[in-house]
Structure 1
Amino acid sequence: MDTKKILVIDDEEDIRQLIQTCLEIMGGWNVLTANSGSQGLLLAQSSRPDAILLDLMMPDMDGLTTFQKLQANQLTKDIPVILLTARGRTFDQRLFVKMGIRGIISKPFNPQKLALQVAAALK
């Protein structure tokens, strides 16, 4: 079986590194990272990951705009997206589900449970 590939799009380097370590060690994922929505869109098109973990609040292009651009692209529209947000409880999660977002993981997250949360959102 091939190793599943996940793309992490987050503007904070320490968060990207923590997520990468957690998902590689505890989840067995091959993790790609991008530091912006623009970089993430390019990587999603070129690498076609099995899933995307997307930070909601980023400078330049926020997570929702990035998600909308992923959805508008034939190459990336079917990739499941999980949002990562420090404001998870302030948004209406039902709206995200209607938009096609597979899950929401709140920051700060428990590093030991992250791989399980990703797997649960993608089941």
Structure 2
Amino acid sequence: MIKLLHVEDDADIREIAKMALEISGDFEVMQCVSGQDALDAAEAFAPDVMVLDMMMPGMTGKETLTRLREVAALKDVPAIFMTARAQHAELEELRAMGAADVISKPFDPMSLGDQIKAAMANPA
């Protein structure tokens, strides 16, 4: 079972992603509504992979990842960003930060699990 931490402020996207990932039977999903929520819960959950929304109020996905990387137990956990604004320059910046992949919104719920597993197996 792959332990996945999903950080997303949009309730509809959280619901769709959770359903899509759990139906495969490959993922145990913990969802957080904000970067701060993720910081509070991530270390205890000990995820195998983190999926972070880029645009969130309070703390962006990039800021959240930077803070999560300060936790020794999370510094090497693969991180995948989800964004509706997948510009080439931004993709390069996210990969330079250590993102394993960037998934564009809207995403395909049927292939989401496979995209995440592929990113874990072949980090960018």
TM (normalized to structure 1)? 0.92
| Unaligned runs of at least 5 residues, structure 2 | none
Name whichever of 83-92 and 97-106 sits farther off.
Answer: 83-92
Counterpart selection for 2:23 from 22, 25, 41: 25
Q: 1:94 aligns with which of 82, 92, 95?
A: 92
Alpha-carbon displacement from aligned partner over 1:14-45 (angstroms, at most 9, x marks no partner): 11111011111126200100000000112111
Match of 1:107 in 2: 105
Mapping for residues 1-123 of structure 1, pairs under 5 Å: 3-26=1-24, 28-89=26-87, 91-123=89-121
Q: Which has the larger displacement, 3-12 or 87-96?
A: 87-96
Inter-partner Cα distance in structure 1 for 2:75 and 2:55: 21
Equivalent position SS for 1:111: coil
Unaligned runs of 5+ in 1: none
1:38-91, Cα deviation, whole Å (9 max, x unpaired): 001121111111001100000011101001001122121111110010111354
Residue type matched to 1:43 in 2? A
Structure 1 outlier segments of 4+, above 6 Å = none
Q: Is the 8 A contact 1:4 1:50 kept in 2?
A: yes
C-alpha distance in 2, partners of 1:94/1:86? 15
Question: What do the CA deviations read for 1:78-119 (whole angstroms, capped 9, x no partner)?
Answer: 111100101113543232222111100000011111111111
Aligned pairs, number: 121
Q: Percent identity?
A: 37
Tell me if structure 2 keeps the 8 A contact 1:27–1:115: no
SS in 1 for 2:93: helix
Task: Supply the RMSD in Å over aligned alpha carbons.
Answer: 1.3
